[in-house]
Amino acid sequence: MENLASFISAFIDLLSINVILLMLGSTALGVIIGALPGLTATMGIALLTGLTYNVPLEYTFTILMGVYVGGIYGGSISAILLNIPGTASAAATALDGHQLALQGKAETAIKVTRLASIIGTLIGVLALALLAPPLTKIALQFQSTEFFVLALFGVLICGSIAAEDLSIKGWIGGLIGLSIAFVKIDNIEGVARFTFGNPNLLSGISVIPAMIGFYAIPEVIKAFSNDDPLEVTEAKDISTEKVNVLMTVIKKFRVIVQSALIGLGLGALPGVGEDVAAWVSYDTAKKTSKEKEKYGKGSYEGAIAPEVGNNAAIGGATIPLLTLGVPGSPPAAVLLGALTLHGIRPGPMINIESPGFISQIAALILLAVVALWVVGVILAKPMTKILKVPKVYLMPIVAALSVIGSFAIGLSMFDLTMVFIFGVLGFFLSKMAYSPAPIVLGLILGGMIDETFRRSLIAHNGSFSSFFTRPIALIFLILIVLTIAKQIFDNRKQVKSKV
């Protein structure tokens, strides 16, 4: 009750004209970013983090949360109208959403997914407001051992799930990210590690420029690799069938609750995020549906499930971000960078060092939901024109924005070098089906994993016993072993089936 009261109070405090207008604008920007293929919510937050560096804290997170919520929803618009998801989290929505558009129900499909997104985000935000504060109390019991195994598990599971081709590529991505994180002066021993005498590397690789490099630059390069023109379906209903959007969504209550729980759970898993939540929600809804045969042919359930799942994952991903300092998704990973930049230290101490911050973030997401409803109605029809913006004009601007966005963080030309290097590396890795998610998560968590591992050993005089005697650490250790064992077993099964 106390948490709910704090959440409601934080929401009321937010209701100033500046914040409302800023939220409407940033949510609209998020929807457009999410809708445009090649741009993602992660990219949008990363690029805007630099822009908001000198902006007061409350406005910064208004903008970033608006872009986050708008971006996750926005992907569904291009999924429906173009059959190209604007974000990976909308890939499952395209399966039934575009079919509905082809049946002349584009406008209804957009309205249904918007309502599903709003419901999913609402459930996520309630979970954040109610569960996160008590979780910080549990997290206060965590020692170095628990943080080590949790963060390591996060990188491992992210690698396993996010891998596009072979799972080993996801793990290699995570290991690459970890090794990049080692480049700096070590905090425990005070020695320079892998800096090769370059003074710019002594403080380590800056996360935001690296993320912009991995997420934005490859998309700019890939956009020009094919000449296929986009076929945009008009965002209006041609079919004469009258559909009550509210009743259509409410009738799927079971799917909504199921997908929301999946989204919350998967969103809370470090690094996994909205993409996986959407697919698992879709897959589970299909398997448990009485109308399985309609999936893929224009089923409203097929469009609702992934949108509820991916938006519930926003709240889910924010829970470990704020309570443990471990981001639950790539956009949450960028938010971690933004939080650190503004002097907020997420983790078990957040309620002590920044009291009320969790409720404030939850309230911002709730405000973003309201903004999404307004913006979604206004932007629905103009989106057709927006989606037709030629990439020859859009992508060079994204490239220039990536450069200035990276520079804005540290005002360092060296950060631009990092954007370039990681951009080129990210492009080649993406061509070989390496997902950027485990690389970036490894980069973000690498320092924490290394330091907590050694601190745990130092505290126990070199003994590994704490990893086996502390219950939470043991649980995660077992999960790590099972994840590795499953992968080895799956690989052997695959090899045997080829033979």
Query: Footprint of another protein on this chain (CB under 8 A)?
Result: 50-55, 165-166, 168-169, 171-172, 175-176, 178-179, 182, 186, 188-189, 191, 193-194, 217, 220-221, 224-225, 392-393, 396-397, 399-401, 403-404, 407-408, 411, 413, 416-417, 419-420, 423-424, 427, 431-433, 449-450, 453-454, 457-458, 462, 491, 495, 498
Instruction: Output the smallest distance, CB 47 to another protein, in A.
Output: 11
- In the bound state with another protein, the residue whose beta carbon lies nearer, of 44 and 50, is 50
Instruction: Output the smallest distance, CB 21 to another protein, in A.
Output: 15
CA 170/CA 176 separation, integer angstroms: 10
* Per-residue b or e along 439-457, where b marks 16 or more CB atoms closer than 10 Å to that residue's CB: bbbbbbbbbbbbbbbbbbb
CB 102 within 8 A of CB 82: no
Cβ neighbours, 10 Å, residue 424:
14
Instruction: Output the smallest distance, CB 172 to another protein, in A.
Output: 5
- In the bound state with another protein, the residue whose beta carbon lies nearer, of 462 and 471, is 462
- In the bound state with another protein, the residue whose beta carbon lies nearer, of 166 and 472, is 166
Residue 105 has φ and ψ, to the nearest 5°, of -120, 35
- In the bound state with another protein, the residue whose beta carbon lies nearer, of 12 and 413, is 413
| Sign of the Cα pseudo-torsion (296, 432, 388, 330, in order) | positive
Instruction: Output the smallest distance, CB 53 to another protein, in A.
Output: 7
Instruction: Output the smallest distance, CB 26 to another protein, in A.
Output: 13
CA 257/CA 453 separation, integer angstroms: 38
For residue 480, the Cα-to-chain-centroid distance in whole angstroms is: 22
Q: Using alpha carbons, list the distances in angstroms from residue 269 to 33, 56, 103.
A: 25, 30, 37
CB 134 within 8 A of CB 143: no
- In the bound state with another protein, the residue whose beta carbon lies nearer, of 254 and 492, is 492
- In the bound state with another protein, the residue whose beta carbon lies nearer, of 362 and 409, is 409
Cβ neighbours, 10 Å, residue 5:
10
Which residue, among 355, 385, 348, 438, has the nearest Cα to 159 in the 3D structure?
438
CA 62/CA 4 separation, integer angstroms: 20
Instruction: Output the smallest distance, CB 121 to another protein, in A.
Output: 28
- In the bound state with another protein, the residue whose beta carbon lies nearer, of 17 and 413, is 413
Instruction: Output the smallest distance, CB 162 to another protein, in A.
Output: 15
